[in-house]
């Protein structure tokens, strides 16, 4: 059986990515079968529990307040609304709910307490709960773990070098620090990135170096294809080809053999045949639901039809790790510290982000 290595170099990863496709697919599929059931795919539902109005400047994101996009912002959803959506997701075959909030970082207080209650509620439905809430302190990670969180998503997005071309309001090390804080608990780590943001192959390999040299490697890695949204700095980027997606998935599978590799944003631009090749190359997770936070996604029935055609089965919850216990708020051993951590504000300027901001100002 292939071993998990934590010392991959960019050159090795590039050599894998650039192999003749049939060899790459054969190698990735072989490793995939050694570590996973190739006919089982995890289905996750991504739920935007707080949409829009974010203070960050991520060049790909329509939720950044500074860009002019046509998404509608929402305040934090209620626990009741989230429970209803989770039940719907469960009946549609999802084993995991991932709740996303458009925050720079988690702030202690009422809203975070409400998110903790959402985590407790979903865990009690016997579904895996994941959150993506921005940067986290160690105490906040521990409180999420105690509520029954199964996974925390925090993407590295790209290579450290290219990250500076996409986001100017926080640094790569901030991302790694949050992942580190999650690792101080028993919550699993979900971290991946986006291709098609104008990065080169070295950047794709660089991102995989950063992810694969984490020890342990992330338990899940979403591979997103950019969905270019009008009004964002990356609005003019051309969609990535399916071949790039297949190569990226296969390379991720080879360097991160035990990780669940998730086909994420950009699936609406892929044919079923293209998605089938991604599954063959080692993808074993998808996001379900007609929206991925704010961008379109195939609807659940379409996905279940595709599963039937390909003979795939949705993965049962807690297949890879036991269900965490939920501790009720009144029994919590952690207090809200009211922390106001200072994260990096590198404040370098990205020309296209500035241009999109100016354009938005002119339109307002």
**Stretch touching ligand SF4 by CB under 6 A, among 3-11, 59-67, 258-266, 299-307:** 59-67
Q: Which of 190, 247, 253, 278 is catalytic?
A: 190
> How many C-beta neighbours within 10 Å does residue 338 have?
8
Determine which residue in the list 16, 25, 46, 64 makes contact with ligand SF4, applying CB under 6 A: 64
Nearer to ligand SF4, 25 or 223 (CB): 223
Nearer to ligand SF4, 291 or 320 (CB): 291
Active site residue 190: yes
In whole angstroms, the minimum distance from the beta carbon of 56 to ligand SF4 comes to 4
Active site residue 278: no
**Stretch touching ligand SF4 by CB under 6 A, among 41-49, 50-58, 83-91, 257-265:** 50-58
> How many C-beta neighbours within 10 Å does residue 269 have?
17
**Stretch touching ligand SF4 by CB under 6 A, among 61-69, 79-87, 180-188, 294-302:** 61-69
Q: Judge whether 350 and 57 are in contact, CB under 8 Å.
A: yes
Determine which residue in the list 63, 140, 285, 295 makes contact with ligand SF4, applying CB under 6 A: 63
**Gap between the Cα atoms of 199 and 27, Å rounded:** 25
54 binds ligand SF4 (CB under 6 A): yes
**Stretch touching ligand SF4 by CB under 6 A, among 57-65, 70-78, 256-264, 316-324:** 57-65
The H or E element that residue 286 is part of is strand 283-288
Nearer to ligand SF4, 56 or 128 (CB): 56
CA atoms in the 13 A half-sphere facing the CB of 277: 16
In whole angstroms, the minimum distance from the beta carbon of 162 to ligand SF4 comes to 15
> How many C-beta neighbours within 10 Å does residue 90 have?
18
Nearer to ligand SF4, 61 or 265 (CB): 61
Distances (CA, A) of 33 to 26, 41, 283: 11, 13, 11
312 binds ligand SF4 (CB under 6 A): no
| Contacting residues toward ligand SF4, per CB under 6 A | 54, 56, 58, 61, 63-64, 102, 104, 134
């Amino acid at each position: 059986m292939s071993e998990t290595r934590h010392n991959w170099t960019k050159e090795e990863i590039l050599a894998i990515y650039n192999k003749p496709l049939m060899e790459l697919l054969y190698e990735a599929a072989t490793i995939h079968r050694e570590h996973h059931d190739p006919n089982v795919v995890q289905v996750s539902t991504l739920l935007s529990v707080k949409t829009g109005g974010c203070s960050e400047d991520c060049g790909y994101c329509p939720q950044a307040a500074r860009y002019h996009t046509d998404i509608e912002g929402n305040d934090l959803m209620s626990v009741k609304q989230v429970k209803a959506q989770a039940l719907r997701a469960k009946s549609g075959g999802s084993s995991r709910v991932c709740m996303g909030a458009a925050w720079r970082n988690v702030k202690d207080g009422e809203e975070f307490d409400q998110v903790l209650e959402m985590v407790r509620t979903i865990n009690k439905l016997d579904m895996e709960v994941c959150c993506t809430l921005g940067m986290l302190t160690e105490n906040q990670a521990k409180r999420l773990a105690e509520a029954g969180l199964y996974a925390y998503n925090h993407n590295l997005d790209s290579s450290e070098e290219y990250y500076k071309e996409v986001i100017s309001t926080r640094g790569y090390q901030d991302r790694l620090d949050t992942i580190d804080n999650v690792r101080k608990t028993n919550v699993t780590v979900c971290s991946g990135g986006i291709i098609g943001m104008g990065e080169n192959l070295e950047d794709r390999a660089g991102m995989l170096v950063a992810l694969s040299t984490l020890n342990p490697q992330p338990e899940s890695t979403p591979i997103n294809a950019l969905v270019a949204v009008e009004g964002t700095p990356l609005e003019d980027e051309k969609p990535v080809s399916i071949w790039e997606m297949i190569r990226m998935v296969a390379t991720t599978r080879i360097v991160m053999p035990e990780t669940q590799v998730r086909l994420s944003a950009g699936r609406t631009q892929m044919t079923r045949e293209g998605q089938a090749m991604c599954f063959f190359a080692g993808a074993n997770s998808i996001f379900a639901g007609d929206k991925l936070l704010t961008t379109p996604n195939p609807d659940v029935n379409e996905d279940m039809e595709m599963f039937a055609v390909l003979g795939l089965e949705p993965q049962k919850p807690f297949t890879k790790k036991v269900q965490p216990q939920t501790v009720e708020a009144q029994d919590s051993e952690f207090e809200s510290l009211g922390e106001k951590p200072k994260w990096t504000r590198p404040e370098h300027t990205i020309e296209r982000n500035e241009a999109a901001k100016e354009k938005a100002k002119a339109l307002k």
